[in-house]
Amino acid sequence: MKMNSPFRAKPFRANLALALFAVLFVAGCSKKPPIPPPPPPPASSGGGPVNNNSSGRPVVAEFTAEPSGIQVGQSALLRWSVTGANDISIDHGIGTVQSTGTSRVSPSVTTTYTLTANGTGGSTTATATVRIVSPPPPPPPVVSDTGNRSKGTVESRTAELQDALFDYDSNNIRDDARAALTSDADAIKRILIDFPSASINVEGHCDERGSAEYNLGLGDRRASSARDFLVQLGVPADKLKTISYGKERPVCTESTEGCWQRNRRAHFSAGQ
């Protein structure tokens, strides 16, 4: 439906009514916009003119909602003008009204208001609809590197984070780990912007050489060191959960220094 935002400014009020007419009452055939026509008559009545003064029924000169599209919490103004009626009422709790007037409404769902005017020669009804429209999308997040990236998933984004590597039997953050974690801190902040409910596991791992039991403690320290470093760089501590795997989940199993170094690491995974 293209009737919403372009019609909100005053110069377009006539267009608004026209659009309402066009969309809602295509079959109604009034030649006098902006007067909204009544709904089609019951099939048994055989039809009839909308405003038939000779019948003595009241005439609804105007019944509009402005604007016709609002967001939840905003309001619209109903405006009406009726002649030849003894009593006039509008449904949805507005009740009996004067022949000319306005009423501010703020429905939470799309609502069609029906005005009923009773005269000596019968009654006339007219309707005005206030539509609830979706809020516009928020502006895209600011991405510092060259854009054109999709959000992906927490898992895919976490998999891109760099491991922080450690010396044997040590949880000191080396210079290379400092660089990796500094880059990771920015990336984690962006993940948390895109996925505010995400949490990240900081896993501590060891190479195969120390005892399994001692390595659980060492892995816990490595994870804690990496977490503390990230928190210093502004990553919220409550989004980081440390898990030590000791030497139980190696990334490689060769007995070489290259493989041992790869296993002496703090690694990131998506949290629950």
Partner 1 sequence: MTRKILISCTLFAALSAVVLMAQITGVITGGGAKPALALPDFRAAGTAAPLMATFNSTLFSDLDKSGCFDMRAKSLYPLNNPQNPQDLRPEDNHQGYALQDWSGTPVNASHLVFGYAAAVNGALAVYGNVYDTRVQNIPSAQLIKQNYAGGLDEAGATRAAHEFGADIIAKFCGGAGSLLGSRIYFVSSRSGSDEIWAMDWDGNNQKQLTNLHSLSIMPAISPDGSRIAFTTYAKGTPRIMMIDSQTGRTLPFYNQEASLNANVTFTPDGKQIFYASSAAGLEQIFAADLNGQGFRRISHRQDIEAEPKINPKNPNMILLVSSASGQEQIYSMNAEGGDFQRVTNGEGEASNPSWSPDGQHIAFSWTRGYAKGDWNVFIMDIASRQYIQLTHSEGRNENPTWAPDGRHISFASTRGGRSQIYTMLADGTQVTQLTRQGTSRMPVWGIK
- Interface with partner 1 by CB under 8 A: which residues? 168-169, 207-214, 216-218, 220-221, 223-224, 241-245, 248-249, 255, 272
Beta carbon nearer to partner 1, 180 or 240: 240
Q: Which of 21, 116, 5 is nearest to 64 (CA)?
A: 21
Q: Least distance (Å) from partner 1 to the CB of residue 219?
A: 8
Q: Least distance (Å) from partner 1 to the CB of residue 131?
A: 47
Q: Where are the alpha helices (DSSP H) in 47-125?
A: none
Q: Least distance (Å) from partner 1 to the CB of residue 203?
A: 10
Distance, in Å, from the CA atom of 121 to the CA atom of 187, rounded to the nearest integer, reads 74
Q: Which of 111, 133, 137, 110 is nearest to 4 (CA)?
A: 133
Beta carbon nearer to partner 1, 165 or 259: 259
Q: Least distance (Å) from partner 1 to the CB of residue 208?
A: 6
Beta carbon nearer to partner 1, 189 or 221: 221
| C-alpha dihedral sign at 222, 224, 229, 233 | positive
Tokens of 188: 């984690």
Distance, in Å, from the CA atom of 24 to the CA atom of 110, rounded to the nearest integer, reads 14
Distance, in Å, from the CA atom of 65 to the CA atom of 68, rounded to the nearest integer, reads 5
Residues 6 or more apart whose CB falls under 8 angstroms from that of 56 comprise 84, 119, 120, 121, 122
Q: Least distance (Å) from partner 1 to the CB of residue 191?
A: 20
Beta carbon nearer to partner 1, 94 or 165: 165
Beta carbon nearer to partner 1, 145 or 213: 213
